[in-house]
Amino acid sequence: MEGKIRVTKPNLTNVEREDIDCGRFKALIFDFDGLLVDTESCMFRAWEALMKPYGVDVSPLQVAGLVGSSAPATALYYLYRHHSGLNHSDTQIRDRVLELAYQMIETLSERAGVRDYLNFAKQKRLKLALATSSEREHYLPILQRLNLDHYFDCFTGAEEIEEIRRKPCPDVYLASLEKLGVSAHQAIAFEDSPPGITAARSADISTVAVTNLLTRHLDVSHANVVLSSMSQLSLANLIERLSR
């Protein structure tokens, strides 16, 4: 397994080099939520907006535990009912949070450095896949609005979850490798949360954690490389480091 690298400062020479040899790497596999587009921070801001009228402060850490998980936000549901005095069901509260979050998501751009990575990958003829637990009706319109959908050779999402296990199981990555026609040794996975990193590492794929407002509070030390943004390290330099 490659040594772990944590990049803590911006790379001041973050320029893609045309002469870089991608070596054994033939494909990149990306998570979606919180990684390409920071939809997860919108969930935090939605909870923040929902609680603010009742004088309740919500911290990123309270919402971070829900990232990459299908578990209900039980503690937050309780806080809302307790402070608002409203006897809303979990479903009603969740739907309101999602409504607020999607209003914010509609104005989001891709995260810093994402388009540079995708352009460089295509320039080097690397294959690209999206591996997510989200449904196509969620991620595809966002990718299309941002003109990012055309970069990807294949998508594996929630439509296939009935046939494969969710992250942190490696199934979504194993399915992506099969679609791309590459081995785990030839791929790099990009994730933002512990369950996703575990899924990729369990598939024996070199994994890069790119944390966000929420997941920077979580333990992502099992990734091979940890970044706070793709703009922090060029894809050329990242490939070079993972090839050592």
* 189 bridge partner residues: 29, 207
5 Ramachandran zone, left/alpha/beta (phi>0; psi -120 to 50): beta
CB neighbour list of residue 168: distance below 8 Å, 6 or more residues apart: 68, 194, 195, 196, 198, 199, 202
Structure tokens at 60: 């990123």
Note if 31 is an active site residue. yes
CB hemisphere CA count around 12 (13 angstroms): 0
Closest CA to 203 of 184, 180, 175, 176: 184
Catalytic-labelled residue, pool 19, 21, 33, 204: 33
- Sheet containing 5-6: give its strands across: 5-6, 225-227, 206-210, 187-191, 27-30, 127-131, 154-156
Q: What are phi and psi of 77, to 5 degrees?
A: -60, -45
Concerning whether 33 is annotated as a catalytic residue, the answer is yes
Q: Are 225 and 190 contacting, i.e. CB atoms less than 8 angstroms apart? A: no
Given the residues 21, 31, 38, 204, the one annotated as active site: 31
Q: Which residues are catalytic?
A: 31, 33
